[in-house]
């Protein structure tokens, strides 16, 4: 996941001397010149939504995990954000790292929690999202978030898109009014000169409101 996707449609207010910044959905170039992708992340404690009057089901997974049953993914996440320029989105450091963008909603919350991971790696090592390319997900497939309150929120895939790497990414990271999980990785043609993929795979899954 290499080249930034420029976000033209939304303005994000950054906490820097009052400037309005247009963010770029990037995935920072790899430290080595080859296809990117994601070390298993240690679960990172995260804040969670207050349990509702109708509790979510109890989770059998460790707290703070993203689970994709059909792809055998069960991973904690590492908070990541923007690079020093304040508008380029960072990417996970290693092939099995799952990144959660800390400017998006808390995983398991009531809006849009955005994750990214690599689809391949320059050494040929296994990666967190290699299964998103093959066998992949389809509409209706389940994605779960085990929350810090011990509850499990189950989402189901509602959309899969393959935008160009330079497409407007504002809708991808924008808040939503229903519980949403968005997964981002790289797909398309690999350019050995620029070390970038031509497209992004964006998977959107949603859950009922409590």
Task: Please write the tens of the pLDDT for every residue from 108-162.
Answer: 999 999 999 999 998 999 999 999 999 999 999 999 999 999 999 999 999 999 9
pLDDT tens digits, 39-48:
333 344 444 4
pTM: 0.77
Distance CA 5, CA 27 (A): 9
Residue 30 has pLDDT above 70, yes or no: no
Indicate the burial class of 98 (C-beta count within 10 angstroms; 0-12, 13-18, 19 or more).
buried
CATH number of 41's domain? 2.40.260.10
**Residue span of the structural domain in which 56 resides:** 5-206
In the chain, the number of structural domains is 1
Residue whose entry in the numeric block shows the structure tokens 């992708």: 37
pLDDT tens digits, 58-73:
999 999 999 999 999 9
């Amino acid at each position: 996941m290499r080249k930034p996707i420029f976000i033209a449609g939304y303005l994000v207010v950054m906490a820097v001397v009052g400037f309005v910044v247009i963010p770029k959905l990037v995935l920072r170039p790899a430290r080595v010149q080859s296809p990117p992708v994601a070390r298993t992340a240690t679960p990172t404690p995260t804040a969670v939504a207050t349990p509702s009057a109708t509790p979510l089901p109890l989770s059998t997974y460790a707290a703070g995990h993203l689970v994709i049953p059909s792809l055998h993914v069960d991973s904690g996440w590492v908070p990541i954000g923007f690079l020093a320029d304040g508008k380029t989105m960072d990417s996970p450091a290693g092939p099995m790292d799952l990144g959660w963008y800390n400017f998006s909603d808390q995983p398991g919350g009531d809006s849009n929690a955005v994750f990214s991971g690599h689809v391949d790696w320059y050494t040929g090592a296994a990666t967190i999202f290699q299964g998103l390319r093959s066998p992949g997900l389809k509409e209706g497939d389940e994605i779960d978030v085990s929350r810090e309150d011990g509850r499990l929120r189950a989402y189901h895939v509602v959309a899969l898109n393959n935008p160009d790497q330079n497409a407007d990414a504002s809708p991808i990271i924008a808040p939503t009014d229903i519980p949403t999980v968005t997964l981002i990785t790289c797909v398309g043609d690999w350019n050995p000169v620029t070390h970038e993929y031509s497209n992004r795979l964006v998977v959107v899954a949603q859950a009922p409101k409590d």
